[in-house]
Amino acid sequence: MKRDRKRIVIALGGNAIKLPRQKGTYEEQRTSIQAASLHILEFIKRGFEVVITHGNGPQVGNLLVQQEAAASQLPPQPMDICNAMTQGQLGYVLQQALMNELKSLNLNFNVVTMITQVLVDRKDPAFAHPGKPVGPFYDRRTKEKLESERGYKIKQVLPGGETPFRRVVPSPDPIRILEVSALKKVVDAGMIAIAAGGGGVPVVLNERGEFEGIEGVIDKDLAGEKLAEAVAADFFVILTDVPRVKLGFGTPEEREVERLDIRQAKKYLQEGQFLAGSMAPKVLACIRFIEYGGEEAIITSLDRAWLALQNQEGTHIVP
């Protein structure tokens, strides 16, 4: 079905919500989200159909610290529950901020947050080699206690200090969003959807053919790409803390890149030009979006998002 308006998926980084050096109070995060909503509003005002996803790394990390601190009084919740909780938490604040901004402009849009499950493969290699650090830092005694009592996988992630250890969990590749039919109906009805927050809740099919949550974290940009596929987006925009992707990062040959076709992007990714766990999954997500049939993928900073769509900023990945 041909649409009158272009559809765009915007992936908002979790660090745009909890800024560096902030404590992560509700007031701080609300202020950051209000600022982010003004940038998102530019696309809505100009007639785009907007779907939003967001990171939750700092927020779910704080929640895991709270879980550990209260463990002597209340049973800690599993990671899939914590992921769902922060999806609801951040979705609510972002949803409310957008509703208020839209109201101030007399724009009549419904804004909907969907708690999203993302299917992963139980045999994904990530389960055999967990490597995504989450939650608080531990000393050796606590590390050994948690490994013994809860079966946590804990690795040393800092070179020294009293608390160099941190829990690591699998980060499996997303296969598909389970709520795709409902999500498409919401977006096709003209609503602004917030979905797949924090990469979505990773779920697997168990031996009985039932869905169940697992301990793990899905990269939010790779999940955002699956969201873009699910809603048949024209554009996929990843908003991070840098205005453009860099080649030769950290070397004398370091340079920003404005445009890559998919062949170039794949070549640089295979060469290891992009940092694993940082820029590499963003570039991979953009490559997958173009391969799916998307018109254009963009990586840029939040404050340059609208300029990037006008080819004045950002790194553009194209067929």
From the candidates 15, 184, 213, 266, give the one annotated as an active-site residue. 15
Note whether 153 and 237 are within 8 A (CB). Answer: no
> Does residue 108 have an active-site annotation?
no
> Does residue 15 have an active-site annotation?
yes
> Does residue 61 have an active-site annotation?
no
The bridge status of strand 235-240 relative to strand 296-301 is parallel
From the candidates 132, 143, 226, 246, give the one annotated as an active-site residue. 132
HEC-encoded secondary structure of the chain: CCCCCCEEEEEECHHHCCCCCCCCCHHHHHHHHHHHHHHHHHHHHCCCEEEEEECCHHHHHHHHHHHHHCCCCCCCCCHHHHHHHHHHHHHHHHHHHHHHHHHHCCCCCCEEEECCEEECCCCCHHHCCCCEEEEEEECHHHHHHHHHHHCCCEEECCCCCCCCEEEEECCCCCCEECCHHHHHHHHHCCCEEEECHHHCEEEEECCCCCEEECCCCCCHHHHHHHHHHHCCCCEEEEEECCCCEEECCCCCCCEEECEEEHHHHHHHHHCCCCCCCCHHHHHHHHHHHHHHCCCEEEEEEHHHHHHHHCCCCCEEEEC
From the candidates 14, 55, 197, 294, give the one annotated as an active-site residue. 14
Give the Cα separation of 314 and 306 in Å (integer).
Answer: 10
From the candidates 18, 143, 226, 282, give the one annotated as an active-site residue. 282
Give the Cα separation of 110 and 62 in Å (integer).
Answer: 30
> Does residue 6 have an active-site annotation?
no
> Does residue 246 have an active-site annotation?
no
From the candidates 143, 220, 226, 246, give the one annotated as an active-site residue. 220
Distant-in-sequence, close-in-space partners of 275: CB < 8 Å, separation ≥ 6:
249
Note whether 245 and 279 are within 8 A (CB). Answer: yes
Catalytic residues: 14-15, 132, 220, 282
